[in-house]
Chains A and B, each alone.
Chain A
Amino acid sequence: MSELEQVHVHIGPLKTGTTYVQQMLVGNQRVLDEQGATFYGADFKEHATAVKHLMGRRRRRDGVASSDTDQWTALVDEARASGARTAMVSMEYLCTADSSAVQRLVSSVAPARVRIVFTARDYSRLIPAAWQTALRNQHAPTWQEFIDSIRDPEGEDGVWGRRFWRQQDPRQVLAPYLEHLQPDQITVVTMPPSADPPDLLWRRFCAATGLTAEPFDLGAVRRSNPSLGGVEAEVLRRINLEVAGRVPGAVYTDLVKVFVAREVLERRPQSFRLGLAEDEYDWLDERARDQQAYIAAAGFDVVGDLAELVPLRRPAERRPDSATEPEVAAVLTEVLGATLREVARRQSLQRWDGARSVQEPLPEPAALGLSGRPPRPGERLRGRVQFRTERG
Chain B
Amino acid sequence: MGDLQRVHVHVGPPKSGSTFLQSVLFANRAALRTAGVVVPGPDWPTHRRACVQLMRRAAGVPARLPAGAPPRDRWDRLVREVHDSGAHTGVLSAEQLSVAAPHSVAAVVESFTPAEVHVIYAARDLAAVVPADWQTRLRNRVAPTWREFCASVREPRGRRSLGGVFWDHQDPAAVLPRWLRHVPHDRVHVLTVPRAGADPALLWRRFCAASGLEADSYSLDVPRNNISLGGVEAEVLRRLTARVAGRLPVPVYTDLVKFFVVREVLERREQSFRLVLPEAEHAWLDPRAEQAIRYLREAEFAVEGDLDELTPVHRPSTRAPDDVSEAEVAALLEEVLALTVLETARRQGGSKWTGARSVDPQEGTSDE
Contact = CB atoms under 8 A, between A and B. Distances in A.
A239 B331 CA distance: 10
Given A242-B338, A370-B345, A92 B243 contact: no
Contacts of B244: 337, 340-341
Interface in A344-361: 344, 346-347, 349, 351-352, 354, 356-359, 361
B361 interface: yes
Contact of B367 (A14, A248, A329, A334): A14
A324 B340 CA distance: 24
Contacts of A149: none
Interface of B is mostly: helix
Interface residues on A, range: 35 or more
A339 B340 contact: yes
A258 interface: yes
Contacts of B256: 340, 343-344
A364 B87 CA distance: 47
A60 interface: no
Interface stretch (B33-41, B118-126, B349-357): B349-357
B368 to A, nearest CB: 5
A191 B366 CA distance: 18
B40 to A, nearest CB: 25
A97 B261 CA distance: 47
A342 B366 contact: no
A250 interface: yes
A326 B160 CA distance: 32
Contacts of B361: 253-254, 258
B353 to A, nearest CB: 5
Nearest to A343: B344
Given A48-B365, A242-B334, A223 B345 contact: no
Given A241-B334, A332-B333, A346-B344, A340 B239 contact: no
A6 interface: no
B107 interface: no
In this complex, the interface size class of chain B, counting residues with CB under 8 Å from chain A, is 35 or more
Contacts of A137: 367-368
Contacts of B358: 263
A329 B344 contact: no
B337 interface: yes
Interface string B244-267: 100111011011110101011000
A62 interface: no
A362 B334 CA distance: 17
Question: Could you say which of A256, A341, A357 has the most chain B C-beta atoms within 10 Å of its C-beta?
Answer: A341
A326 B326 contact: yes
A332 B330 contact: yes
A343 B249 CA distance: 13
A333 B239 contact: yes
A332 B337 contact: yes
B355 to A, nearest CB: 7
B259 A238 contact: no
Contact of A349 (B252, B326, B345): B252
B359 A352 contact: no
A130 to B, nearest CB: 10
18 contacts: A15-B367, A18-B366, A223-B359, A246-B338, A251-B345, A328-B326, A332-B333, A333-B333, A340-B248, A340-B261, A340-B340, A341-B244, A347-B347, A351-B252, A351-B255, A358-B259, A368-B342, A369-B346
